[in-house]
């Protein structure tokens, strides 16, 4: 009797496994089949190579530069590059040439307000208020940890903040691409008609 019940439940278990595998594969297919996914993976790869060259050069080749944790320095460099590429790619994917301009504005704001050139206490109040909202703030902090000695509580805080920027950028790209595409197409046509952009 028990053997009969067990054999009767086997097709149901097999069906459950197939349905679960089918749901996973279709969700994964949806994730990688977005129009910009291939380009994003290409940019991530190029970005990783650049990050490895820059951080390895700073840690091992350039003279008179001391990095206490070179392995972590390179790892954090890869993480920062991943985050920045995701943010820039999402902006450009959503807004086209306008997104490129937005990325440049973000870059300028980060150079001035992230505390990399001057301590946060010495920059103007506007940039002090902006400082916690800039990804570069946490990138600088996590790279400093690798240079001077790691305090893991600080690293955990900075990595979580950096990853939150990347997740927000990815979600914005995935959720807003379809609604914004018609508007951006009209904007692109108007810009082409104006002759201001080529």
List pLDDT tens digits, range 158-171: 999 999 999 999 99
Its pTM surpasses 0.85:
no
- Judgement on whether residues 140 and 82 belong to the same structural domain of the protein: yes
Q: Is 118 helix (H, G, I), strand (E, B) or coil?
A: coil
- Judgement on whether residues 87 and 131 belong to the same structural domain of the protein: yes
- Judgement on whether residues 8 and 39 belong to the same structural domain of the protein: no
- Judgement on whether residues 59 and 8 belong to the same structural domain of the protein: no
Q: Is 123 helix (H, G, I), strand (E, B) or coil?
A: coil
Per-residue pLDDT reduced to its tens digit, 40-62: 888 999 999 999 999 999 999 98
- Judgement on whether residues 79 and 55 belong to the same structural domain of the protein: yes
If one counts the domains in the chain, the total is 2
- Judgement on whether residues 99 and 88 belong to the same structural domain of the protein: yes
- Judgement on whether residues 87 and 18 belong to the same structural domain of the protein: no
- Judgement on whether residues 87 and 161 belong to the same structural domain of the protein: yes
- Judgement on whether residues 120 and 91 belong to the same structural domain of the protein: yes
- Judgement on whether residues 74 and 154 belong to the same structural domain of the protein: yes
38 burial (CB, 10 Å; 0-12 / 13-18 / 19+) is exposed
Domain hosting residue 121, numbered range = 35-194
């Amino acid at each position: 009797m028990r053997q009969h019940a067990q054999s009767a439940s086997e097709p149901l278990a097999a069906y459950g496994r197939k349905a679960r595998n089918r749901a996973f594969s279709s969700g994964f297919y949806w994730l990688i089949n977005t129009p910009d996914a291939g380009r994003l993976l290409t940019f991530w790869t190029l970005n990783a190579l650049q990050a490895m060259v820059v951080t390895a050069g700073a840690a091992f080749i350039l003279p008179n530069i001391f990095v206490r944790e070179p392995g972590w320095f390179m790892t954090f460099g890869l993480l920062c590059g991943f985050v920045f590429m995701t943010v820039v790619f999402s902006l450009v994917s959503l807004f086209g040439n306008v997104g490129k301009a937005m990325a440049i504005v973000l870059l300028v704001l980060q150079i001035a307000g992230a505390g990399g050139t001057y301590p946060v206490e010495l920059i103007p109040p506007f940039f002090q208020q902006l400082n916690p909202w800039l990804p570069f703030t946490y990138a600088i902090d996590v790279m400093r940890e690798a240079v001077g000695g790691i305090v893991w509580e600080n690293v955990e805080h900075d990595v979580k903040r950096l990853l939150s920027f990347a997740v927000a950028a990815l979600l914005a790209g995935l959720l807003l691409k379809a609604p914004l595409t018609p508007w951006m197409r009209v904007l692109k046509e108007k810009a082409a008609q104006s002759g201001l952009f080529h």
